[in-house]
Amino acid sequence: MGTGTPATETTMTSTRPTTRNTWQRAAVRDLLENSAEFRTAQQIHDLLKEHGAKIGLATVYRALQAMSEAGEVDVLRTVDGEATYRHCSSGHHHHLVCRSCGYSVEIAARPVEEWANEVAAANGFTDVGHEVEMFGLCAECSKR
Amino acid sequence: MGTGTPATETTMTSTRPTTRNTWQRAAVRDLLENSAEFRTAQQIHDLLKEHGAKIGLATVYRALQAMSEAGEVDVLRTVDGEATYRHCSSGHHHHLVCRSCGYSVEIAARPVEEWANEVAAANGFTDVGHEVEMFGLCAECSKR
DNA sequence: AGCTGCATGAGAATCATTATCATTATGTGG
DNA sequence: CCACATAATGATAATGATTCTCATGCAGCT
């Protein structure tokens, strides 16, 4: 089909996001924005279906992938390598995650940023980035 | 020899390693001790076979699993979730890894440890641990 | 040397994630 | 408001890493 590419190829902004707003992506985004916990793609899929949404698993993966690339969500790996996602504020930050209930808090780490740069420089490394995640028991879970 | 433990009395709740010294595990250990880079289980398997060792992939996985549990190796996840292993000094530490050549350096992070504890306490978390990994370009790779 | 049971190896089985591809529907221009 | 180009969706197959199965082998101990 669509044989000849229409010469109507005007000077349209090529850098257009080319990303469409579907209710599926909105659903994933909404769900994440209402949770302070990291969830796996499959958990998100299940939750959405419980909510009555008829959405495909592959779509959830694609939405999450897009959102993470856009910096809208944070991705963390569980000990066994599963990816978990959480809505996040824009900008650089880290997390303090409860390993019991999954509750998490975003934390700024100004001191760490500086320390990281120093260490990197001291070792001759350049273009350095870092990952810092903390795991423990939140106040609630600590009581039990 | 006999630690005076009754031969027949298998009641000893001993936390004996019950781990046998096979040449396969030694091979994996040797290979890791001679590399300052993180490698995936399959890479290790390939390298061993190149060296003429006739070892099974499952065995490599088991050896790495045992070694990581014993704290003899560090485990890191690549961006796409693959586990990579590297020989490490005992004790708590972190890494500065070159994302180009894979070269890595162990780094102590006393300042970070303290900071981590403070943040954890400030948020009511207990039993806190943390992960800190830094990625960048080593001096060599920076030149290019 | 003889035993016992953990370790090994080859391949099947899992499981999360990605790719395929026909179909649907979004954003746009007419 | 309608038509169109095409990104997005969804059901499913495919991929790939890691784990499990189980018959056989070897390490450690007597």
pLDDT at site A16: 55
A129 touches chain B (CB under 8 A): yes
For B:58-97, CB contacts with A below 8 A are: 77, 81-83, 96
**pLDDT tens digit string along B62-116?**
999 999 999 999 999 998 999 999 999 988 999 999 988 889 999 988 889 999 9
Does nucleic acid strand C have an atom less than 7 angstroms from the CB of A82?
Answer: yes
Between the CA of B55 and the C1' of C2, what is the distance in angstroms?
28
In order of A85, A120, A123, B40, B98, the CA distances from B137 in angstroms are: 27, 9, 10, 20, 5
A121 touches chain B (CB under 8 A): no
> How does pLDDT run along chain A (144 residues), one tens digit per residue?
433 334 434 444 444 558 999 999 999 999 999 999 999 999 999 999 999 999 999 999 999 999 999 999 999 999 999 999 999 998 899 999 999 888 999 998 888 999 999 999 999 999 999 999 999 999 999 998
Interface test with A, best of B112, B125, B131 (most A CBs within 10 A): B125
Under 8 Å between Cβ of B125 and A136 = yes
B23 touches chain A (CB under 8 A): no
